[in-house]
Amino acid sequence: MSGCVLNMVLDPIFILPNGIGMGAAGAGLATFISNCAACIYFFILLAVKRGKTYVSVSPLRIRFRRDIIFGICAVGIPASIQNLLNVTGMTVLNNFTSAFGSDAVAAMGIAQKVNMVPVQIALGFSQGIMPLVGYNFASGSIDRMKRTITFAAKIILSFMVAVSIGYYIFAGALSALFMENPAVVAYGTRFLRGLCLAMPFLCMDFLGVGVFQSCGLGKNALLFAILRKIVLEIPALCILNALFPLYGLAYAQFSAELVLSVAAVLVLYRLIKKLEAKNTVSTR
């Protein structure tokens, strides 16, 4: 969250002519600096909490056991590829936006950062339930696992729908908080209204991927990461930008997440039914 807030502050400073005026390159530099700041923050936090937490980055604690390495790769590789594809998608989006000038780039950066706040909350919520889902999956408590997923879905979906409505109504006011330039505010309003439509669907996608990772289903998580960017979102960027220049870019994520959320719900439903059937057979 701290890195996201810093990125929101630095974007207009580095991008706009009345700031440093770097244009699209400024967006990348702002992201780099904010990510570095977030990384330093977590290293300082680990140093302060040393001896009071199980979290450690010490190489001396590495154990090259097959089950540990496989578990790390099953979760870590899909997650890292997902992050790589997110950067790729962002690069494509920024390249398309840069063709319309620095005002459009600044507005897209502001809209993305404002939109990123609830998205990160949804991501954190889905990751927060992963230990509980993983524990119940490993212990065979499928009914409790199902209740956990259902409870999480109700809470985060209600939250994201409420935020989406608020963002859509107050998109202009939110954009104006970061920039007084009328052109940037106008662009930002249109962009934010397009981006916020994806929120309710995005949270279900995140929840599904979190459950897959908790159950060791790395292939499912990897498949969804590839579908999100390579198969759906990046082609949608190209198509929508061609049909509706500039403004269509804001609706690419909505198009992708609409499909992925349906797929996530269906796969989760089938997974839980399969686990319940397996658990019923094993208890007989």
Does the pLDDT value for residue 27 go beyond 90? no
Task: Render pLDDT for 243-279 as a digit per residue (tens, 0 to 9).
Answer: 999 899 999 999 999 999 999 999 999 988 888 888 7
Dihedral angle, C-alpha 268, 269, 275, 277, nearest 10 °: -170
Of the candidates 217, 168, 218, 210, the one whose C-alpha atom is nearest the C-alpha of residue 193 is 168
In the chain, the percentage of residues whose pLDDT exceeds 90 is: 21
Q: What pLDDT is recorded for position 66?
A: 77
Cβ–Cβ < 8 Å for 162, 119: no
Does the pLDDT value for residue 112 go beyond 60? yes
232 versus 22: which is more confidently predicted? 232
* Residue 250, token pair as written in the block: 């804001």
Please report, for the chain, the start and end positions of each structural domain, with discontinuous segments joined by +. Answer: 1-62, 64-282
Q: pTM higher than 0.75, yes or no?
A: no
- Give the pLDDT mean for 182-191: 91
Q: What pLDDT is recorded for position 55?
A: 67
Cβ–Cβ < 8 Å for 209, 224: yes
* Mean pLDDT score across all residues of the chain: 83
Tokens 């330039």 belong to residue: 181
Cβ–Cβ < 8 Å for 149, 211: yes
Cβ–Cβ < 8 Å for 131, 213: no
Q: What pLDDT is recorded for position 10?
A: 74
148 versus 87: which is more confidently predicted? 148
Question: Of the ranges 42-56, 91-105, 113-127, 167-181, which one carries the lowest mean pLDDT score?
Answer: 42-56
